[in-house]
Chain A
Amino acid sequence: METEFAIIGGGIVGLSLAYGLLRRGKTVCVLDEGDGAFRASRGNFGLVWVQSKGLHHPAYAQWTRASARAYRSFADEIETVSDLPLNLQQDGGYIIHMSEDSLDADRKLYEGLRSRLGGDYPFEVMGHNALKTEEPNIGPKVAGALYCKEDGHVNPLRLLRGLTVAVRHLGGTLRTGHKVTDVTPQGAEFSITAEDAAPITAKKVVLAAGLGAMSLGPKLGFKAPIRPQQGQIIITEKLPKLMNRPNVEVRQVDEGGIQIGASSAEVGLNDREDVATIAGLAAHAVDMFPKLARAKMLRSWAALRIMSPDGLPIYQRSARHPGAYFVTCHSGITLAAAHAGVLGDWLTDAAEQPDVSAFGEDRFDV
């Protein structure tokens, strides 16, 4: 099979890129592995999140914010094509602090970023009483929160399904259940070998394979200095409305369950949940929202997310093999709008394209 763009990886990142390329009239084939894959797309928190991103990297803060601003029209498009409500809510969100000291420390970091951005960075400091007016169910131990009006959340599983429908609807080929094991440059093209499938030839190849880039990246001349970061999440039974806005550790999903997370540990390719970590998450959630003490935990899971050395995305064209691209990030949900939108101009080398040089791999050169 021959195609113009082969995208290795059919998660949120791969599908968002595929969607953007298909909207630009390109021919796209997305290759995805089997059901048992790690899939960070199933292990995220569903946040479309601006605050706290890029506190030391203004370019990332701005990239994130731009994606959040483009999210409403992105979500509308996916909803229209797939006929699936994504329940995007962008009414603001919090990072809740349990001590004045930590609240103050973060406030200073935000103020630093704000001044580097010439004053254009939205956030507010809320003390306990101000927060309680907005979120009556917060507990007495909560010191306050940092609030950003541009924060929000979406149903990430609906987004995944919606993108799948949209990609197929726009004529993209989606090959699932075939893990890519090798990708070889062949002249000006690329030959992609996958398990239980005939090889595919593509003019351009985009590596959006999450942790799969660790082995596939070097084949295309990328450093791919990424590593797995394990996060555990808890979800409760469906409950009547308890919170108005999401915070970065606890949110009420559209279905009614409360999602709690996430831990963060470097344990290699270990996606097992453990009681000690879950207990810590539960304790923290109950401190923030005491009413949750009676709520039933229904399930937990542990997912492996992708971490680069500085936590920022990597967008890199291969110098050694022109036509190969590497895209990876930690915040695949938040950046989906950018990936489906402006990043397509970078992938197609359009006359007007975003400046993503801050996210190149050369920043990792010693």
Chain B
Amino acid sequence: MFERIGHSATAQVRFTFNGETVIGNAGDSLAAALLAAGHKVFRDTPTTAAPRGPFCMMGSCFDCLVVVDGETVQACQIPAQDGLVVTSPPVPRAQP
């Protein structure tokens, strides 16, 4: 889905997403690194468990939410760094 141009000399970062290792470039946001690695679904919505991925990439839509260190964050606003443990936000108990 996404191709990387240039940047072959850029340092790499290694983190996990839902237990899977993801390799990105230094300077990527978490969202960019995840998209580059082929992850297009970041979470399921709390309302209907519908799959969502990033939409605006500028911190406005809040669709790219992930959990890092116990905190829900926008993946497009967080730099990808070595050793981060990233997970999808848990879907709260089912609502009528």
Contacts and interface: CB of A to CB of B under 8 A. Distances in A.
A240 interface: yes
Interface in B51-96: 70-72, 90, 92-93, 95-96
A85 interface: yes
Contacts, number: 24
Contacts of A87: 96
Given A238-B46, A256-B46, A294 B70 contact: yes
Contact of B95 (A239, A240, A256): A256
Contact of B93 (A85, A237, A241, A296): A241
Contact of B71 (A254, A255, A294): A294
B72 to A, nearest CB: 5
Nearest to B90: A240
Contact of A256 (B70, B72, B93): B93
Nearest to A158: B96
A239 B71 contact: no
Nearest to A291: B70
Interface in A237-286: 237-241, 254-256
A296 B46 CA distance: 15
Interface range on chain A: under 10, 10 to 19, 20 to 34, or 35 or more? 10 to 19
Contacts of A296: 71-72
A238 B92 contact: yes
Nearest to B70: A294
Contacts of B70: 294
A85 B94 CA distance: 13
Nearest to A255: B95
A87 B70 CA distance: 29
Contacts of A241: 92-93
B72 A240 contact: no
A296 B96 CA distance: 23
Contacts of B96: 85, 87, 254
Nearest to A236: B72
A356 to B, nearest CB: 35
A66 B93 CA distance: 32
Contacts of A239: 92
Contacts of A255: 46, 92, 95
Nearest to B93: A241
B73 to A, nearest CB: 9
A256 B96 CA distance: 12
A87 B95 CA distance: 9
B91 to A, nearest CB: 8
B10 to A, nearest CB: 31
A240 B71 contact: no
Nearest to B65: A237
A80 B23 CA distance: 53
A164 B68 CA distance: 42
Given A239-B92, A254-B96, 5 more contacts: A255-B46, A255-B92, A256-B92, A256-B93, A256-B95
Interface of B: 46, 70-72, 90, 92-93, 95-96
Closest 5 CB pairs of A and B: A256-B92, A85-B96, A238-B46, A294-B70, A238-B92
Interface of A: 85, 87, 237-241, 254-256, 294, 296
8 contacts: A237-B72, A239-B92, A254-B95, A255-B92, A255-B95, A294-B70, A296-B71, A296-B72
